[in-house]
Amino acid sequence: MTEFTHKQPELTDTRGRSLRDLRISVTDRCNFRCRYCMPREVFGDDYAFLPHEALLTFEEITRLAKVFASLGVHKLRLTGGEPLLRRDLETLLQMLREIPEIRDIAMTTNGSLLTEQRAKSLRTAGLTRLSVSLDALDDNIFMAMNDVHFPASRVLTAITAAQTAGLTPVKINMVVKRGVNETQLLPMAEYFRHSGQVLRFIEYMDVGNSNGWRMDDVLSAAEILSTVQKQWPLKPLPAQTPGEVATRYSYVDGGGEIGIIASVTRPFCGGCTRARLTSEGHLYTCLFASQGLDLRAHLRRGDTEEQLYELIAQTWGLRTDGYSEIRLAHTPGFQNKIEMSHMGG
Ligand code: SAM
Ligand code: SF4
Ligand code: SF4
């Protein structure tokens, strides 16, 4: 591979947004069937997941990551599907950490395959931060949500393993769905207060076409905040970085901090600096996009780094995305959007 150092002045889209973060989905498969993400009626035994040869290889991912880095990306996040289902992820981490512009490599996982030893090897290989998804402490509720009978206690063990391995603070992602797990807001908050970990409540989103989303199912950030606040007063914290998706609060009594990701009721499109690469190498500039750019085809037909650079720069330069803002302003049409498990959350 030729070295590639091309740099152009700050790349921005049509709304002046820079390209800063890249989410890389390393697999479209998952061992959970969360009702809000991969419901088993759609992702059943006969579902056609991608064959291995369709996935980008680690070399292809790294090649693209280098081009993205030269366009301004400093942060990478590995996701899926369930990223820990992809074999030898440590090898990919070791390759990505060698890219000079990359300062941060995070991962989002359901925690089901994360032992202490695995957490240590991921960290040694270059992982800097970890988010673990957990929607409830109550097993009846959690199992109904993950739909594979996976107990909450095993995710809690994985979170402790990550903490022991030094992947701190671990962020805990809790998707909140009205009438499903809202009773878990306070137990979850209580469990993670004073733990050094950061619980983040996520408004249930209308990603993909398969989760049967209705606005009525969304427990808003305002409702989440008022429920927690009544029990343990909170104060807002300033954003740490521009374009931060979570609004941060700290417990007044020193119990640590929480975050709320209000993509439905308080969209943050104006500061959205994120691109997404699917496991088969399609680039999406919005989580809710229906059209992606097939970078794998360009890689496999022998495009040079310069050509890939121009292609991605042009795509970002033309970007107009702001789906969540539009959804808030209008009655949305939920057709033909790509599934979140496929694009990478
Ligand atoms: N399997 C990994 C996991 O669950 O952490 C990584 C992929 S998952 C698609 C990434 C994140 O998206 C998870 O935290 C998950 O809870 C969240 N997510 C999935 N579907 C969602 C939805 N409909 N609304 C809000 N968040 C969702
Ligand atoms: Fe799998 Fe994560 Fe989607 Fe749940 S949210 S089905 S764990 S990809
Ligand atoms: Fe970014 Fe699209 Fe989400 Fe808006 S809706 S924040 S543009 S990914």
Q: For position 115, what pLDDT does the model report?
A: 97
Q: For position 344, what pLDDT does the model report?
A: 67
- 318: tokens are 């033309």
Q: Is residue 8 part of a domain?
A: no
SS3 content of the chain, % helix, strand, coil (to 5): 35, 15, 50
pTM of this prediction? 0.94
Residue minimizing CA distance to atom 4 of ligand 2: 34
CA distance 52 to 280: 9
Q: Is residue 11 part of a domain?
A: no
- Which CATH number fits the domain that encloses residue 265? 3.20.20.70
Q: 6 CA distance to ligand 1 centroid (A)?
A: 35
CB 119 within 8 A of CB 167: yes
**Nearest in space to 105 (alpha carbons), one of 120, 121, 116, 94:** 94
Q: Is residue 142 part of a domain?
A: yes
Q: For position 290, what pLDDT does the model report?
A: 87
Q: 132 CA distance to ligand 1 centroid (A)?
A: 10
Half-sphere exposure of 283 (CA within 13 A, CB side): 27
Q: Is residue 160 part of a domain?
A: yes
C-beta 269 within 6 A of ligand 3? yes
Q: 263 CA distance to ligand 3 centroid (A)?
A: 8
Q: Is residue 227 part of a domain?
A: yes
CA distance 118 to 149: 23
Q: For position 213, what pLDDT does the model report?
A: 87
Q: For position 207, what pLDDT does the model report?
A: 79
C-beta 322 within 6 A of ligand 3? yes
Q: 108 CA distance to ligand 2 centroid (A)?
A: 10
Q: How many domains does the chain have?
A: 1
Q: Is residue 1 part of a domain?
A: no
Q: Is residue 289 part of a domain?
A: yes
Long-range contacts of 211-218 (CB under 8 A, 24+ apart): 211/35, 211/36, 211/37, 211/39, 212/39, 213/36, 213/334, 215/264, 216/178, 217/177, 217/178, 217/179, 217/180, 218/177, 218/178, 218/264, 218/265
Q: 340 CA distance to ligand 2 centroid (A)?
A: 9
Residue minimizing CA distance to atom 17 of ligand 1: 345
Q: 38 CA distance to ligand 1 centroid (A)?
A: 10
Q: Which atom of ligand 1 is nearest to the CA of 211?
A: 23
Mutation test of ligand 2: which of 26, 37, 41 has the most ligand atoms closer than 8 Å to its C-beta? 37
62-87 tens-digit pLDDT: 999 999 999 999 999 999 999 999 99
pLDDT in tens, the chain (345 residues): 445 555 566 899 999 999 999 999 999 999 999 999 999 999 999 999 999 999 999 999 999 999 999 999 999 999 999 999 999 999 999 999 999 999 999 999 999 999 999 999 999 999 999 999 999 999 999 999 999 999 999 999 999 999 999 999 999 999 999 999 999 999 999 999 999 999 999 999 987 777 778 889 999 999 999 999 999 999 999 998 877 899 999 999 999 999 999 999 999 999 999 999 999 999 999 998 988 999 999 999 999 999 999 999 999 999 999 989 888 887 454 334 556 676 666
- 263: tokens are 């993509």
Decide: residue 42, CB within 10 A, 0-12 exposed, 13-18 middle, 19+ buried: middle
The β-bridge partners of 98 are none
Mutation test of ligand 3: which of 19, 272, 338 has the most ligand atoms closer than 8 Å to its C-beta? 272
Name all residues whose Cβ lies below 6 A of ligand 1: 30, 36-37, 79-80, 82, 108-110, 133, 173, 175, 202, 204-205, 207, 211, 340-341, 345
Domain that holds residue 112: 21-343
